[in-house]
Amino acid sequence: MAGVGGSNDRRQGPPKRLVRWALAVVVVLAPCITVLFTPAAHGQVPMRSVQSGPPVLPVVSAQIVTAPSDEATGINPTAPVRVSVSHGVLNAVSLTNPEGKAVVGHFSSDKLSWTTTEPLGYAKTYTWSGTATGIDHLRRAITGSFQTVIPERLVSGRFNVADNATYGVAMPIALTFSSRVIDKAAVQKALSVHLSVPTEGSWAWLDDTTVHWRPRTYFAPDTRVSVTAKLYGIAMGNGSFGREDITSSFTIGRSYVLRGDTRSHRLAVYVNGIQVADYPASYGLDSDPGRATHSGTHVVMSKFPVYYMSNPKYHYKNVEARWAVRMSDNGEFIHAAPWSVVQQGRTNVSHGCINLSSANAHAVFDAVLTGDPVEITGSSRPLGSNDGDYYDWTIPWESWAAMSAVRNQN
């Protein structure tokens, strides 16, 4: 029976303490091997083994991505253009136009990407070249090409203000386009006005080719103004794109305001808010709508030492007027009228102009700047959109702001 009992002990497997000792030996002799056991009918048997230590990474070649993608078309010339690499670094990159001229660009500090730093041209095919090296130490070529958009027409813009010029406090900023603008919001988002004095103002579209910016109230004297229209690459609608960016910087001068009342037959001058002159004047004959001087805020547009005036309707031609200051596009001027000195200060006899004596007209001529306001009251005819380009101040502020294609514009 003792032999039988011994046979049963062997079938039950080795004692547990022997297993623990054997496992300890395995761990000591092979510290990098972990052996897992699972219970079995006849003792502990290995299930799997896992080797620890640093992982062995697969060898991967450089992965190159160009943007725009290869053979893409209709790309905006101002869109981001770059090439990037993963699992490697860029060695050399070139993007050339059809004439072989390289586009200017720069590498990122880690040489994982290269980006253009200048706009592309319209209707051109650009070709990539260069190499990248992967972590497998193998070089891969950078290839591919894409084509920029082909505009149906290019639209240019022109400002009414000149660089380094000085203008009056009522000067509107006018931007006129060579063709109709359909997407006014897209264009307006590309416009910006920066002022040295915080000033509330807004763009307003007067028609499909003209947008103006004016402040809510007159500019503060000595304000420095910079206006920019980043038109290049702007889609204006119906296949039209902006031809080029334009900018202008100018200064607002002192405050010089002319105020006239057609009923009192006077023209007063205010400099920086202080009245400095009060001239007798003769305005347009109010009983004739074709001769009345318009009420409203005019803006000085230009001035001429000598200007020849004609009006076929009233049968005069090439009448010489000296010290002529244009204040609208409907034929209204301030000018010397020695022939009406007797009526000046007493009655209105002109054909819409403000008649002054030669000495007084000369004084106004010497003092005014383009952009100075001429505020006229008392007439039966209001100044309006049919009277030229600078009727901006006849539009109430709320109505003006509503003419913006984009809300909350400066």
For the record, the structure tokens of 384 come out as 């309006």
For 32-107, list the strands marked E by DSSP. 33-40, 43-51, 63-67, 72-75, 82-86, 88-96, 105-107
Q: Residue 4 CB: number of other CB atoms within 10 A?
A: 7
Phi, psi of 272 (to 5 degrees): 50, 40
Radius of gyration of the chain (CA): 41
- Residues carrying an active site annotation: 335, 353
For the record, the structure tokens of 320 come out as 């010489």
For 230-380, list the strands marked E by DSSP. 235-237, 240-242, 246-252, 256-261, 266-271, 274-280, 296-299, 302-311, 316-326, 333-336, 354-356, 373-377
Q: Which H helix or E strand runs over 195?
A: strand 191-195
Round to whole Å and give the CA distance between 271 and 357: 21
Round to whole Å and give the CA distance between 144 and 152: 26
Round to whole Å and give the CA distance between 170 and 303: 16
Round to whole Å and give the CA distance between 83 and 258: 61
Q: Which H helix or E strand runs over 167?
A: strand 166-167
Cα 92 to its chain centre, rounded Å, is 33
Phi, psi of 401 (to 5 degrees): -60, -30
- Write down the number of H helices and E strands in the chain: 5, 31
Measured between alpha carbons, how far is residue 312 from residues 76, 246, 316 in Å?
Answer: 52, 40, 6
